[in-house]
Amino acid sequence: MADKKIIVLYLDQQEITHQLTTYIMPEFRQNKIKIIFYEPLMPGENNFRGTVDRVKNSEADSILLLGFGDELRSILEEMGRQKLIGKTEIVGGIGLLSLNGSVTILSDGVIVAVPQYLIDKNEKAKAFEEKFHKTYNHTPNIHAAFAYDAVQILAEGLAYGLSKGQGSAETVSFHVTNRTYQGIMGEVHVDNMGALVVPMEVGVIG
C-alpha cells in the first residue's frame, strides 16, 4: 500500500472539500500513499478531456472520484473514450451508485465505498424502512436515512437546550457535536464541524 500512487478528483463543494482535507488526505499521508495530483471539478462542468489526458499520462495506480451527478458521469465517459476503464483502478463513493444508468459505471472492478447502512441494516434501520414504506409506498433512499438520523440528533439537542431553558443554536450545537449516536446508519459520529460520520463498507462491482 505504501507504494500506491493515486489521483484525487473531487466536486468543488464545501462538504466534500472538508471531508477530503480533514479525513482523506491525512489518511493518505499516514499510509504513505503518494498523491500525484488532486483537482476540483467545477459544478456544471462537462468537458474533462484535459483532466483525463493528465490522468492517462500519469503513473497513477488509482483514481479517487469524490462527488455525484453529471460531473462524475462526464469524467467516466471521457475515461471510457480514452480506454482507461479497466486499466486504472477506479475508487469512489455513493455518488457512483447514483449513476447506475451508465454502462461505464457497471464495469467490473470499480471499487465503491458506501455507508454500511446500504449493506447491513440494524434493527432501527429495518423499522425505519418498514414505517417509511407504509407511509410513502416506496423504499427510502440513502438521503432519507441521513436526514432521519440528522433530525433525530437535532431533536435531542433541542430537547436538551429547552430542558435547560437555553434553546439557542449555540446550546444545541454544543450538545450535539463531538458525540456518537446509535442511529439507523449505525454508530453515527457528529464532528466539531457538525458533519455526520457514518460506518462505511467497501465493495467491488463485478
pLDDT of residue 168: 72
Q: Three-class SS of residue 35?
A: strand
Whole-structure pTM value: 0.60
Per-residue pLDDT of the chain (206 residues; tens, 9 = 90+): 457 788 999 888 887 888 788 878 888 888 788 889 999 988 888 899 999 999 999 888 888 888 776 787 788 888 888 888 778 888 876 666 555 444 444 455 556 666 778 778 899 999 999 999 999 998 888 788 889 999 999 888 888 888 877 767 777 788 888 889 999 988 898 888 777 888 876 655 55
Q: Which domains does the chain have, with CATH numbers?
A: 5-107 (3.40.50.2300), 123-199 (3.40.50.2300)
pLDDT of residue 143: 81
How far is the C-alpha of 205 from the C-alpha of 60, rounded, in Å?
21
pLDDT of residue 101: 47
CA 118-119-120 angle, to 5 degrees, is 110
How far is the C-alpha of 192 from the C-alpha of 174, rounded, in Å?
9
pLDDT of residue 128: 94
Residue 62: phi and psi, rounded to 5, are: -140, 155
